[in-house]
Every structure is written in C-alpha cells, then in structure tokens.
Structure 1
C-alpha cells in the first residue's frame, strides 16, 4: 500500500479539524437553539398566564367561555382548575382529560412546567396560580419550535457545507504552499544521496525549513569535502602502490644487468686463466659495473633519506648563491672539459637566500651534471638566477637536443628516462631528477621544465629568500 504524502496528510488533517469544528458547532448550536426557544416559550406562556389570571378569577360562572376567550387572545390552549385541581373549564375537550404534574406544582403555589406527548404531538405546559387558588394552565405544541430548529439546522448545515468546501480548497492551496519547501528538500536530499554534492541549495526563510536547508547545505559541503579527501587519498594510495611496484621492478632491472655482468666475468676468471690483456679488460668491466651498482645504491639511499626526512630537519641558513654555483661548476669541470662543454654562471654576487646549503648544491649539481652529460659535445650550459618579490628563480639552460613534449610530465618520476639506452650507457639510473624534486620541495620550493626539440632545455627552480 502506497504511503500518503506529507501534502496529503496535511490536507487530511486540515479537513479533519474543520469537520470536527463544524460538527461540534452544529451540535452545540442545535441544542442551544432548542433550549433557548424552550426558555422563551416558558417565559411567554408564564407572562401570558399571569396576565390572564384576573379574567380567570372573575369568570368562575362561565369558565369554558373565559378559557376560550383567553385562548383566542394568547393563541394557546387554556385550561382552568380549581384550587383542589378539578377542571373548571377548557378551551379544548382534550385539555379536560390531560392533567399532568404541572398542575400539582401549581397547587403548591409555584409555576408548574412540563412537556409531554399528547395525541401524537409534543406539548409544552405552563401552569400559574391566582390569589384565590384558581389555576390557569396554558399549553402549546412544540411543532413551531421544532420547525424553527429544523429550518435553522438546515441553514447551518448548508452554511457549514459551504464553509467546509471553502476550507478544503484553502487547505489544498495551503498544503501545496507548505509542502513545496519539503518537496524541494526531498529532491535535494535524493540528489545528494546520488552523489550530486554541487546541487544548489537556497537558504530560504528563517523558519524550520530554512534551518533544514542550511543543515542540508552544510552536510553537502562536508560530504563533498570528505569524499574529495577520500578520493584523493585513494588516488594517492593507488599512485604509491604503482610507484612501489615500478620501484621494485626498476631496481630489480637496474641491478640485474651489472650483477649479471659481474657474475659472468667473475666466473670466466675463475674457470680459466685468460691472457693478461683479457684479464685487465674483464676486471675493468667488473669494476665499472660495481661502480654503477654503487652509484645506484647511493642514489636510492639518498632518495630514501629525503623521503623520510621532514622539513623541520633541514638546517636552513644564509646561502651565497654565486658561491654554490661556482662550486658546482668546479665539480663538473673535468666532465665538461672532456665533452668541450662551456658552463657559464650569471648569478648576482649579492644574491642570498635561506636554504639548506648541502641540498641546494646537490640539486644544482644534478641539473648541471645532466646538462653536461646529455647535452651535445661543444655545447653551452648556463646557470642564472634573479630575485624578485621575495622569490629567487634559478635556471639551468642548455642548448642540447631537447626533450619531446610527451616526456616532460613524467620527467621527475623515479627511474624514468627519455632514452633508456643512452642514459644507462652514461651511468644514469633515472633517479637524479627525482632527487632534485625532493630536495627543492623540502625547501618549500618548486621546479619546472621547459624544452624545445633541437633548441635545448631549461630547468627552473623557485625558492624563497626568507
């Protein structure tokens, strides 16, 4: 069975209240009107009876004639009784035989009143007593009062039905207006349950619906934020799992080649005694592969240390940037000279910033070393810096072959290499730029790269002076 809507319940309750009020009003008015008309009849008959007593007391010789005359004047049935309750005269034959409790009450000197059925009619009686003990009783059928009550009842029922109809129409309109905010909030809540947290919610009036609207709006904001956090955390965990999987695979791959080479050449040396020149060549290969493994392990340890170390562990101090740049140039001088690469420095001598000197030098060294290592023979590398608005921008620019656009977004990922074969031949493990990124971010800085194929590459570091 389908449940009633709030609007239907509101309309039903409205109609029920109106019906109850109208019903109680009709019942009360009906009884009150009948009682009031009865009281009025009592008062009228009592007054008429007392006024007619003077005639009744003087007409004992012709009581029937006097009773008929009084009945004609007061428009009621009249009966005259002696002080002992015997009938003296009456305006109607039926009245002589109709002696009720009202006569007994009048004999005691009080006004007697009674109502009873006689000959199929409901009659009302009022009896008054004169000074000489004569009792005058007036009787009148209640048909006139009942007709008045019935007519009034019909009119009240018609008016109440009309009022009920108007109340139903007004209740329908009122329930429609009153239930509209609830219907809107029901729709909103349904959309929120379906995950549409950007659903606009108007605050509305400062009533209970307004409070509920604001509560829904706040709930939507909180749910959106929490679900956003959960999605971001899920994506982060997924990314970490991917990085971990790739890390294990890449480390295994990177170590497999030198380990295989070392193992193969070592087994050759153990099985037979090669010629001295071959032995020297084998030992050289083993030495080179061991150095490669050592460099890889060193970079892995450095990267792990950076990930574990927090920003609060950094020993920041005032750094003279030009001195760091010169020291980096001296470090790569031998390699640059081999490839006839010119390393130029364009850093103001008065440029200082607060940073981790060791980390800054290491990051800059990796960038310059990469520029020399992967640039063209006889090329140029330029290290420049400028300070503006509390920020220091450091650029390492080369005029080498450049990097294709599809590689740039992944350039700072671990073990990612643009040309894996060439990088491996030149001793690269794909960890240098990942280390640079960690170092820069640990100093609250940012790093970006721009490159044009055939024109060169620019790495840009932004740090704060303070």
Structure 2
C-alpha cells in the first residue's frame, strides 16, 4: 500500500499535522499548567502577606501569648484546599498554630518532623526570603509557600507556611489535554480526508499515464491521455501524447525496413548481420542470432567489430570497408566477409557482415599440417644422425671401435624410425578400423604379473619400490591380449621412466561397478594441469626433449586410448606436478559363452 505515492503523500501530510498538533499541545498544556500554578502561588503569597500585615496578633512580638488569637485568625483565612501553619523561630522551629485537621497533635511539635512541611523551605524562610516549592505527597500534588514574618527589630520571628492542594489545577490541565486530544483527532481526520483528495488529484493523471504506458508496452500503441489541466501534470500528458505519435511513426518505418531485410536475410545459408555506423545491430538472420548469441532483442545491442578481427574498420577510409578475414567464434572458425551499404542519402550507413562456417576445413588443414610437421620432425633427427654417422664411416681413417660405436648408433636410430612407422601404421589401422582383434578370455592379473616380470630389471636399475595389489576372484575380460598388454606395458613403462630413482609405483587391480579396473600410480614428476587435456593427442609431449631422450615417439598414449576405446573401455589420467600421476583403465567384464 505504501508503495503508492498517494498513500505516501497522505502519510507525510498526516505526520506533519500530527507532529504540529503534538508540539502545539505540549506547549499549550505546559504553559497552562505553569499559568495555573503561578496563579495559585500568587494567591497564596497575597493571602500570607495580608495575614502577616493586617493581623495585629502576628505583628506583635509575643506570639506565644497570642497563640489562641493567631489560631483563630489562620482558621478564618485558610480555605478548604489550603493548610496554614504558624511556625515560631526558636532553637527548634515550633508550630504554634495550624489549620490542619490534626491541629491538636501537631501544636508544639517541631516543624521539621511534619511530613507536609518542607524543612528546606522553612530554613530558607528563616533567612528572610519567601520560599516556594511543589511536591507530591500521598499522590496529592501540593504547592508550598513559606513566608517570613519580621519583628520590630528586623529579625525573622517566625514564618507562615501554607500548602495548597493542586487537584483543581491538574483537573483543569487534564481537561485541556482531553480537549486538545479530541481536537488533534479531528484535525487528523480532516487531514486524511483532504490529503486523500489532494493526492488523488495528483496521482490519478499519473495513474492514467502509467496505464496507457503499460498498454503500449504490451504492443498497443494507439494510446492517448486526456489532458485535464495546464499545470505540470497536463504538460506531462501532452508530452506523452506527442511521444505516442512519434513512436507510432518510428515503428511503422522500422516495420517497413524490417520486412525488406527479413525477406532477404532469412533464407540465406550463411549468418548475416547488418550494423549501422554506431555499431548498433539493424538486422540479423536466424543463423547469425544463434551464432553470436544475440537473443530476441538484438536491436538493443551494439556489435563490437574487434571481436571478429574487424577493429581496423574506418568509415572515413573507403578501402577499409570491404574485404574478408578469418576469425574464431565459440570454437568455430568462420570466414567473415564484409561490405558497406548506403542509406537513403547515398551515404555509407553501415556494414553488411556475412559469416561462412569453415570450421571443418580449417581443422582438417591444421591437423594435416600438424601431423606432417610432427612426422617430419620425428624423422628428421634419426635421419640426420644416420647421415652424419654414415658420412663419417665412409672415411678410411676410422678405427674399428669408433666404427662399431657409430654402427650401433645407426642401428638404434633405425629401430627408432621403425617404431615410429609401426606406431603410425597401428594408428592408421585403428582410425580406419582395419585392426583384426583376436579377442580371448584372459585374466588381467596374469597380464600385469607377466609385464612386471619383463620390466623387473628396469625397475631394479632405478631402485623403485613396487606395490602390487591384485584382488582375488576378479572376473576375466574378453579382449585382444596383445593390444591390452601393449597398453599396460606402455603405461607402466612411462611410470618407471618418469619417476625419479628410488620412487614408488603402485599397481591395483580390482572390480568396480561391473568393470575390471587397473590403476597404475607413481610419485614421479607429474604432468601440469594445462597439459593433461592434450596428453592423449598424437605426438603431444609435455617435455619434448626429455621424452625423446627416453625413447618416446609421442604416440604411445594415443594408441593406448584408441585400443581401450575399441574394447568399449575407458582410460583416465590424473596428475599433479611433483606429486605423481595415476592412470586408471576400465574394461567391461565378460565371459565367453560355451
């Protein structure tokens, strides 16, 4: 409710009047109370002054001798709401006369022992000053006045002490509070009513404009607001109507242009975007909307030419407005062609940009280039070595030991090229599914033990500690024995090679969720996170020089992945630099049917 300006206006108006009435009420009540009490004090002082001045018994110096006459005097002067005491100035101020109902008990008592007498006022009056004070005793508000009476020698011979009940005063004040409270409620009621009327006169035209604007937001642009005044609200209505007319005209122009562009662009196979000189998108066909993730409200977006390598576009340089570039968008490669278009004034209004998808061709070309480069690089080193050693051997002055050593190197490099060619042929057969798998039922545990026995010498040379955990009753798998053995041998060999001397290699073989799992874990040098996603790519090496020194071709893991996936399995590598690497192989369990 309070989100409405009408109610906020009423509440503020209400609070202003309420605060004003409260402040006025407090001020009036306080002043009335002070005035009433001051009137009572003035009356009490006037009465005490008359008693002291005109009573011959009080003007005499011997009050004790005239005590009875003084008692009659104060009884005559004291009203029902007042109590008058005559206190003699002795060593102990003594009450010699009183108009109190308990007069018989207090005559002759010390004034300081009476609960209705304020000792501080008595002492102050004995000093020759009229003392006044107000206090509440037994829930009764009383006004106290102590009036000094002087003897002929100018000394205070006693005081007249009067208390007056203020109930009537506070009754008058409370009645005034009631009147002011009722007046406040009446004023607040009138305030709310007037505030509602004033707020309605302001908010109703605004509500009308808001309702019309809502209709326009829903697509109904034939909206006009009734102008009821010439003030600011009326000016707002006039501007709204003017805006509606301009908007209708603009939308009609846009619809006409959009219809033309839709017919042309929607049936094109390539993505097409039209932008103006400010970079705002004028139009885009469905392919471009999906490609550039423009959404339905692409007209509200600004196209950044730098995102598609067209940052050199300059509308003042005609030669920069036409051409083509190769760019990558969302991991796809496009050939982007662009050319300017002209507006109705025959000026360059913007650009037409066409996106032609060449991702497949680009990837094939890159793969071909990378493959040729990798193969050439792998063959270049051994060929160069063989050629240089062969040229040296052709000389006549080579001794037999050097000749034997050179021939050993040539033989080693020939073996290296043989391994590379063999791996390439194997990958080719896997790619074209020409590999003839000879699947048999085997035990993965037995294969692991055979491989370890073959690598035992290498393990001992590097001083590694081997931890072997093979569970019992693991189901057999139906696989190509040579292929799976090649995979496991390759991975264990990598763990041995890339683990520093005296390392730990842990091999686990168990069944989990219907798969036979082989886990090979080491505490070697590990693989950086950025390299792990490419580790199964062909010819990819983390440390190329070191890998070649250890005899790798860069194809082992690629072949391993192809073999495992050909057996409907899965291979995963997890690694942390300087902590170690774990390779997990999963093969589906199967039993040969008899």
State the TM-score, normalizing by the size of structure 1. 0.50
Q: Which has the higher contact order (CA 8 A, sep 6+)?
A: 1
Which structure's residues are more often strand, by fraction?
2
Which structure's residues are more often helix, by fraction?
1
